[in-house]
Amino acid sequence: KIWDAVDTGCCLKTYSCHSCAVRAAQWSSCGRRILSGGFDSMLHLTDVETGKQVFSYKNEFRISTLKFHPTESNVFICGGFSPEVKAWDIRTSKVLRVYKAAVQQTLDILFLTEGREFLTSTDAVSRDSADRTIIAWDFQSAAKISNQIFHERYTCPSLTLHPKESVFVAQTNGNYMALFSAQRPYRINKKKRYEGHKVEGFAVGCEFSPDGTLLVTGSSDGKVVFYNYHTARIIRTLSAHKEACVSAIFHPVLPSLLATCDWAGEIKIWQ
C-alpha cells in the first residue's frame, strides 16, 4: 500500500502482486518504483504510476530482507530462509553474485559507505559460539571479510548505519542496541549501549534521525524509544501501540515526521 503520510493520511494505492506475506519492501532511488519480496519467494519491482511489474522473478527461497545498492540503482541484494544471499541486476533479470555462509536465515542486510562492503545479520547463534551472527562481505568478490564482529550470544534482527559518522548499530535480542565501527575490523564500542526498550524475539527495527543525533527504536511492549546517540540515554518514550512496535522510521525529507507500525498491522504517522 502507498500512503499519503503528510496531508490526508489516506491510502492512495494498493498493489496485489504477492500471494503470501510481504516481508520486505523498499523504494527505488528515483521514487517511482517499489521493490518487494515475501514468503511466496517472489521478487517484484512495481511501477507506482501504472501498477505494472517492471521486474518479476521467482526466487529459490522465501525472502525476509532486501536492499538496493547505494550507488548502483539497478542492483539489489536479497536474503531470507537460505544459507545464500543473492545480488540481482534488474536490467538483465539475472543473479550477479551469490554470497554463501553456513547459516539458515538472513535477518537483515546493511550496505556500508559507497556499497563496496555490506553486512548481513543471521540466525547463527549456538550455545558455545556467536560467530557468523554478523558477517561482513566484499560486494565485488563475494568474499567474507569477517564473521567475528559480534561475540555475544544474541541474534540481531536489524542493522542501521549512521548518516554522518562511520559507525553502525545492531538491534539485539538481548534488549539493547550495540554500536560498532563501520571500518575494518568493525570493533564494538563497549562504552555505549542503548538499553531501556524490549525486543523479546520480535524483528524490531531501529534507525538514526537524518542529522544523526537521535536513535529511535520500536519495543515489544508497543512503545517507541528515542535515545541520544552521543550519551546513549533515553530522551523520550511514546506509548505508540497496543501490540509490539516493530518499526519506527524518520521521514527522509521532513525529519519531524515519524512512521511507526505494529505486529497487528497498524501504521501511525507522528509529528
Full set of structural domains in the chain with CATH: 101-270 (2.130.10.10)
- Quick one: DSSP state of residue 201? T
**Cell numbers at 83, concatenated:** 544459507
| Residues composing the chain | 271
The Cα 8–Cα 19 span in angstroms is 29
Q: Which residues pair with 94 in a beta bridge?
A: 89
What local confidence, expressed as pLDDT, does residue 132 receive?
79
Q: Residue 132 and residue 205: Cα distance in Å, rounded?
A: 20
Separation CA 170–CA 134 (nearest Å): 9
Residue 14, Ramachandran bin (φ over 0: left; ψ between -120 and 50: alpha; else beta): beta
The pLDDT tens digits along the chain (271 residues) read: 998 877 888 999 999 999 999 999 999 989 899 999 999 999 999 999 999 999 999 999 999 999 999 999 999 999 999 999 999 999 999 999 999 988 899 999 999 988 999 999 998 765 555 567 999 999 999 999 998 899 888 999 999 999 999 999 999 999 999 999 999 999 999 999 999 999 998 999 999 999 999 999 999 999 999 999 999 999 999 999 999 999 999 988 888 899 999 999 999 999 9
